[in-house]
Chain A
Amino acid sequence: MLLAQYAFRPFLNSPPIWDYWLLLIIPLCLGVAIVYKSMKVASPRQLPLEAISTMAYIVGAMAAIAAAVTLLNAIM
Chain B
Amino acid sequence: MDEQAIESTQGQKPGSPMIVAIAGWMLPGLGYVVLGQTWRGVVAGTTILLLILMGIFIGGIRVIELPGFDSAGKRVVVPGTDQWVLTARPVPTLMEEIWFMPQLLNGPVTLLAGQQSLALTRSGAAMKMHGRLDDIGILYVAIAGVLNLIIIIDSAHRASKASLSETE
> What is A's interface to B at a CB cutoff of 8 Å?
5-6, 10-15, 17-18, 21, 24, 27-28, 31-32, 34-36, 38-42, 44, 47
- Pick the contact of B133 from A17, A31, A34, A40 — CB < 8 Å? A17
Q: How many A-B Cβ pairs are below 8 Å? A: 88
Q: Kindly provide the distance from the CB of B131 to the nearest chain A CB, expressed in whole angstroms.
A: 8
Q: Is the CB–CB distance between A39 and B40 below 8 Å?
A: yes
Q: With contacts A11-B57, A38-B40 known, what are 5 further pairs, Cβ within 8 A?
A: A14-B137, A31-B48, A35-B150, A39-B150, A47-B43
Interface size of B in residues (CB-CB distance below 8 Å)? 41
Choose, from B92-100, B101-109, B122-130, the stretch at the interface: B122-130
- Pick the contact of B51 from A15, A21, A31, A36 — CB < 8 Å? A31
Q: Is the CB–CB distance between B133 and A14 below 8 Å?
A: yes
Query: Is there a chain A Cβ closer than 8 Å to B68's Cβ?
Result: no
* Contacts A/B (CB < 8 Å), 25 sampled: A12-B120, A13-B60, A13-B129, A14-B60, A14-B129, A14-B133, A15-B57, A15-B133, A21-B133, A21-B136, A27-B54, A28-B140, A28-B143, A31-B143, A31-B144, A31-B147, A32-B143, A35-B48, A35-B151, A38-B44, A39-B44, A39-B151, A40-B6, A44-B43, A47-B43
- Pick the contact of A42 from B4, B51, B57 — CB < 8 Å? B4
Q: Kindly provide the distance from the CB of A56 to the nearest chain B CB, expressed in whole angstroms.
A: 17
- Interface of B, helix, strand, loop or mixed by DSSP: helix
Q: Is the CB–CB distance between B2 and A38 below 8 Å?
A: no
What residue of chain A has the Cβ atom nearest to residue B6's Cβ? Answer: A40
Contact with A along B21-51 (1 / 0, CB 8 A): 0000000000000000001100110011011
Residues of A within 8 A of B144 (CB): 31
Residues of B within 8 A of A34 (CB): 43-44, 47
Contact with A along B79-122 (1 / 0, CB 8 A): 00000000000000000000000000000000000000000100
Residues of A within 8 A of B126 (CB): 12-13
Given A12-B61, A18-B133: A35 touches B44 (CB 8 Å cut-off): yes
